[in-house]
Structure 1
Amino acid sequence: MNAPLVSTPRVEAFFFDADPGTRFSLYHAPDPHRPERGAILYVHPFAEELNRTRRMALLQARRFAALGYAVFQIDLFGCGDSCGDFSAARWDIWKRDLGVALEWLRGRSAGPVQLWGLRLGGLLALDFASSTPVDGIILWQPFMQGRSCINHFLREQLIAQGDNPPPGSPRSTAALRAYLAAHGSIEVGGYALARELAQAVDACDAVALAVPPCPIHWFASGAPAPTRLAASAARLTRRWGERGATVQFHAVDGVPFWNPIEEAECPALLAATSAVFGAEP
């Protein structure tokens, strides 16, 4: 770990060495006046959703810390303030980043360690946990199929083109995917997505993952609460239950704060998550 950029009794911001380069990180120490409950490693969402959701992630990290959890936030390779271009980001590098972060966090906390993933970060957390056991997983509005995330990302390009796209430009996600396959990269909203990363994300499906036998809390927020997802959660609960995992689905009313809405917050999600993880053992 390099020297902290910011250090207070409760928060440290720093870069740590990883392969390749360095990663920006934020560590929230647990409230010393509370019994320590364990540690939580945050796994952020994809591309611009990382920036759109920073405020919500920070607010919840502070709440977790106030409840007695040590919380570690990391910008993965090619993302946020970490080194590397997004065009060079790869799924396996991101999983290696999580491995380094998890080792660092376990050096700080002797308690149970949970992963907390938002959007594609939820699917990445599940994939990582299928080969690196953890004590629990927290999912905030996760993508359960990587292909859905890539399609959502590509649709943003179609929206940006508007009703009068330039002549010859792709006009469907299928056409954008064909362009990506042929050219090896496509730029959407300033993010150059490499074919290799898109293929790895596409191939990831939560149903097929060997999740560890641990508690999984799935929080779904929207306006109104997306109870239609409860059926999907029920199917995964049965599948993952065969491997010893237990799933609890929490539907929450609130705005989709990962969308391009300025400083969108979802107080109900913060309250619901804090209630679950602040409950007495």
Structure 2
Amino acid sequence: MNAPLVSTPRVEAFFFDADPGTRFSLYHAPDPNRPERGAILYVHPFAEELNRTRRMALLQARHFAALGYAVLQIDLFGCGDSCGDFSAARWDVWRHDLGLALDWLRQRSAGPVQLWGLRLGGLLALDFACGRPVDGIILWQPFMHGRTCINQFLRRQLAAQGDNPPDGSPRSTAAMRAHLAAHGSIEVAGYALTRELAQAIDACDAAVLEVPACPIHWFASGAPAPIRLAASAARLTRRWGERGATVRFHQVDGAPFWTPIVDAECPALLAATSAVFGAGP
């Protein structure tokens, strides 16, 4: 770890030394007036959703710290304030980043360690936990299929083009995927998505992951959270339960704060999450 950029009694911003380069991180120390409950490693969402959700992630991290948890937020390689271009980002590198962060967090906290993933970060957390078992997983509005995430990402580019797209530009997600396969990358809302990263994300399906035998709290927010999502959660609960995991699905009404809404927040999600993890001794 490099020297802290900002250090207060409760919050420390710094860069991890990693290969390649460095990763920006933010550590929230647990409230010293509360019993220590363990540690939580945050796994952020994909591309621009990282920036749109920073405020909600920061607010919840502060809530967790106030409840007695140590919380580490890390910008993965090629994302946010970490080194590297998004075009160089790879799924395996992100998993490696999480491994470094998890080791660092375990050195700071002797208690149980949980992963907290938002959107694609939820799927990445589940995938990572298959190789590095943890004591629990927190999912905020997760993607269960990587292909769904990539399709939504591509559709944003189509929406941005409107009714008069530039000549020769792809006019559908299928055409965009064909361009990606043929040329190796495609520009979407300022992000250069590579074929390698898209293929790795496409291939990730939560239903077939060998999730660890641990508690999984799945929070779904929306206006309201869709019934279809609850049904999907029920199916996965049965599948993961066969492997020893226990899933609790929490349906929360609130704004989709990962969309392009200025300063969007979901107080109900903050309250529901804090209530679950603030319960007990």
Query: What is the Cα deviation at residue 143 of structure 1?
Result: 0.2
Which one-letter code corresponds to 2:15 in the other structure? F
RMSD: 0.6
Distance 2:272 2:183 in 1: 44
- Matching residue's letter, 2:93: I
* CA-CA distance at 1:268 after TM superposition: 0.3
Shift of 1:96: 0.1
Q: TM-score, normalised by structure 1?
A: 0.99
Amino acid at match of 1:38: G
Counterpart residue type for residue 258 of structure 1: W
Q: How does 1:1-281 map to 2 (within 5 A)?
A: 1-281=1-281
> Which whole-Å deviations, capped at 9, do the CAs of 1:7-27 have from their partners, x for residues lacking one?
000000000101110000000
CA distance, structure 2, for counterparts of residue 183 and residue 56 of structure 1 = 36
Q: Which amino acid aligns with 1:16?
A: F
SS of alignment partner, residue 46 of structure 1: coil
Give the Cα separation in 2 of the matches to 1:25 and 1:227. Answer: 36
Asked if the contact 1:137–1:215 (Cα under 8 Å) also holds between the matched residues in 2, the reply is: yes
Given that 1:38 and 1:69 are in contact with CA atoms closer than 8 Å, whether structure 2 keeps it comes out as yes
Seq. identity, % = 88
Partners of 2:83 and 2:262 in 1: CA distance = 26
Letter of the 1:267 partner, please give it.
P
State how far apart, in whole Å, the 1-side matches of 2:151 and 2:203 are: 13
The separation in 2 between residues aligned to 1:128 and 1:12, in whole angstroms, is 25
Give the deviation of 1:224 after TM superposition: 1.4
Q: Distance in 1 between matches of 2:180 and 2:230?
A: 34
Q: Secondary structure at the match of 1:228?
A: helix
Deviations 1:197-246 (A, max 9, x none): 00000000000100000000000000112232111001000000010000
Displacement of 1:167: 1.9
Output the CA distance in 1 between the equivalents of 2:227 and 2:139: 16
CA deviation vs aligned residue, 1:32-60 (integer Å, no higher than 9, x gap): 00000000000000000000000000000
- Counterpart Cα distance in 2 of 1:217 and 1:193: 30
Secondary structure at the aligned position of 2:33 is classed as coil
Q: Distance in 2 between the 1:215 and 1:240 partners?
A: 10
Segments of 4+ moved more than 6 angstroms: none
Instruction: Give the TM-score, by structure 2 length.
Output: 0.99
Q: Which runs of 5+ in 2 are unaligned?
A: none
Cα distance between partner residues in 1 of 2:209 and 2:6: 38
